[in-house]
Structure 1
């Protein structure tokens, strides 16, 4: 090996040699940033036919959301225990005013429709007495419904289905769930490319000086893109517990190390954007199990009408007719159901505080095993990370090829 020739070449082309580790550092950073952005953007497919790209997470929105929400409903949220925190008496009290208005309107409408002459001829004092009796029964109906709802919440509300539907419908929210939770890890991935790339660039410098092989730069460029992506992703999650290397450095996967901070961020986002009282109530009213709730309400309303009619029921039935009496009960239940969305918003403030979703999630995340906890973020990378690593390698290879062209020409 002619060391003098190598040193002369280095002296003649020192800017090229010194640029190698810095260019490798740039390759490392750029490939990391590209990999990160390709995970999330674009939210919708951009391209023509099969040629194009959609962010890895938005493209796999249903799978990503299903995995994340499976972990949440299995390990973080127990619907029955959560909904048991709602005190039926407090709910009834919160809803007293809107329910009384609804009861007045529904009662007047039904009696005016099914027995108009009787209602119009009835003295105002008698009308008020009927309304007072019905109003007095309404809070008890709400209490009974709330107790039954809490006992049978898993038969009425599919929390996982609700969350997955919301995340698939709003892919930007799914992006935020992952990106906001792992922002420091994303920053680490990008910055690690600089350090890893620079180190590989030093090896590239020596290899080029010794061989002058035109394949050195593209191969090392590809290696920089591939290896730094792979290494950065591994360092986020592993080791799961603190581990000492070479007796000098202690390292724990960044995501594992940030458990308390992640718990707070994850809990905030789930409570504010996914498991909100509004979303839960929408799911209860429109989800795949909503028919069971409506059956419950219908049963309670019809039972209440029968109870109110009680002694006068034979006369009421005689005056209205058996068929129309049954129609009246069904109409009352239907009108009550129609008013639920408007009425229920009056309880949102109380329910949000009582359910305490955010703090529940924070506490439960602290109790997960390292492997379970990893599942909060790992699915976002695991299945498609090879694509991101491959893209990093291709970009690195092309930049390396460009380096060769600039050096040789």
Structure 2
């Protein structure tokens, strides 16, 4: 069996005057610590970066890709269309799955859509819209009438037009209140929170990255530092190599093979320890089950819950996002029909005794169109609401406080289930990365110090 007692470029024993055993006792812990730090540091980076897939087109990959096993296809080294080879952070690459877990394990435990909407100041929103729409009353009424009944509206005396403006103006608060009360009463049919959040986070994967890096920032730093545990493992490896050749049969295995194998094991082990200490167990356990008793993130549940609620309130469940989902989402037509019904009832009341004459002048169909047109004009008030930063911030604060209160009431096990479930299924990729990087560092050690 061929061995090399020193490195390819430096005779460490001659340089230091020490035996190979002493050189190994010093070098293996240092290299193992470096391997552990690199493994965990790059592992944390790979969780989140890059947010968007970065890669290059490979000729023929698109033809081969459909025949690969599903477990291989979902690896973040392939673009979604299977045409490019590259990389995307584990969490952004699994945005849809991560979002689904987030909803199932957190949002649906916090409350239903009705619970979230009830936290908003619906009456205040109605008053806000009514107040900001007053300057638009004349424009809205003219727009509706000129579009649906231009001859009638042009023929009306100015005094009658002013009377209509005044009636609409007086009814605005009541109209807005009733519209938002109806939305609140029917919110479960109009807003599918799970599909909305999954779709939104899938389209905005950077929020998932921010969510984890913000909530678990101290724990992610700890995961990197845990890599230093490679040092004692390296010391154990050096001691073992000193007696390896004396072991019957097993000692026939080349030392370099033992070093590479042990380096891979060390890379995997420090990764496993880091992930497990941060995410498991949620509820405190006896020392004989877990030396650390409880996940580090679970110990900070109160602060982590506050951070999670803040991100949900200010980046996901915002007034703007909820408004867009209600009006432009899959059930947007139902929302519009609901508002149209409320607006139609109000316009009938606003026309009052003149309703019969108006109906006769413009026809039954035109009269109904007039009522429905009010809803379309009413939608133009919504941008003013979401453009007011103070108003939006006030509503976000209500959602923030509500979500934080609910998340803090979850048991540590329930709270941690959301985070660990998002990492657990793809943890093997981190471990594989740790093993590969460990082998690389082990190979560098062999080239540097010999075998």
Q: Is the contact made by 1:182 and 1:377 (CA closer than 8 Å) also made in structure 2?
A: no
Equivalent in 239, 248, 270 of residue 281 of structure 2 = 239
Cα distance in structure 1, aligned partners of 2:375 and 2:242 = 85
The one of 12, 15, 26 equivalent to 2:19 is: 12
CA deviation digits over 1:146-199, x for unaligned, max 9?
1111111111112222222221111111111122211112111110111x2011
Gaps of 5+ in 2: 1-12, 59-77, 79-84, 246-254
Query: Is the Cα–Cα contact under 8 Å of residues 340 and 372 in structure 2 kept in the other structure?
Result: yes
Query: Displacement, 1:246?
Result: 6.9
Shift of 1:114: 4.7
Note the C-alpha offset of 1:352.
4.7
Aligned to 1:353: 394
Deviates more, 1:304-313 or 1:136-145: 304-313
Please identify, of 52-61 and 348-357, the stretch whose mean Cα deviation from structure 2 is larger. Answer: 348-357
Of residues 28, 34, 46, the one that matches 1:38 is 46
More deviation, 398-407/167-176: 398-407
Query: TM-score, length-normalised on structure 2?
Result: 0.81
Structure 1 residues 110, 260: closer, same or farther in 2, change over 3 A? closer
> With structure 1 as the length reference, what TM-score do the two structures score?
0.89
- The match for 1:166 among 182, 200, 220 is 200
- Distance, in Å, in 2 between the alignment partners of 1:86 and 1:54 is 37
How many angstroms does 1:345 deviate by?
A: 2.5
Whether the aligned pair in 2 keeps the contact of 1:43 and 1:171 (CA below 8 Å) is yes
Counterpart CA distance in 2 for 1:248 and 1:334 is 60
Contact 2:385–2:391, Cα closer than 8 Å, also in 1: no
DSSP 3-state at the match of 1:245: coil
In structure 1, the partner of 2:75 is: none
Q: Does 1:398 align with 2:440?
A: yes
C-alpha separation in 2, matches of 1:328 and 1:265: 48
Q: Unaligned regions of 5+ residues in structure 1, if any?
A: 1-7
| Mapped contact 1:77–1:360 kept (Cα < 8 A) | no
Instruction: Tell me which moved more, 102-111 or 133-142.
Output: 102-111
Query: Counterpart in 2 of 1:199?
Result: 232
1:296 Cα offset (Å): 0.9
- Per-residue deviation, 1:21: 0.5
Secondary structure in 2 matching 1:240:
coil
For residues 353 and 79 of structure 1, what CA distance do their matches in structure 2 show? 19
Deviations 1:26-45 (A, max 9, x none): 11111111211111122222
Pairing 1:341–2:341 present: no
**What pairs up with 1:150-299 in 2 under 5 angstroms?**
150-194=184-228, 196-211=229-244, 213-243=255-285, 245=287, 251-299=293-341
The separation in 1 between residues aligned to 2:167 and 2:352, in whole angstroms, is 12
Is it true that 1:25 corresponds to 2:33 in the alignment?
yes
How many corresponding residue pairs? 400
In structure 1, the residue corresponding to 2:428 is in which secondary structure? helix
Q: Which moved more, 1:387-396 or 1:120-129?
A: 120-129
Q: 1:145 aligns with which of 162, 179, 182?
A: 179
SS at match of 1:43: coil
Residues 1:68 and 2:113 are matched in the alignment: no
Q: Please give the alpha-carbon distance, in whole angstroms, between the structure 2 residues aligned to 1:364 and 1:248.
A: 28
In 2, distance between residues paired with 1:321 and 1:243? 75
| Cα displacement string for residues 204-249 of structure 1 (whole angstroms, at most 9, x for unaligned residues) | 1101222262223212211110111112211112333344537997
Deviates more, 1:240-249 or 1:30-39: 240-249
SS at match of 2:52: coil
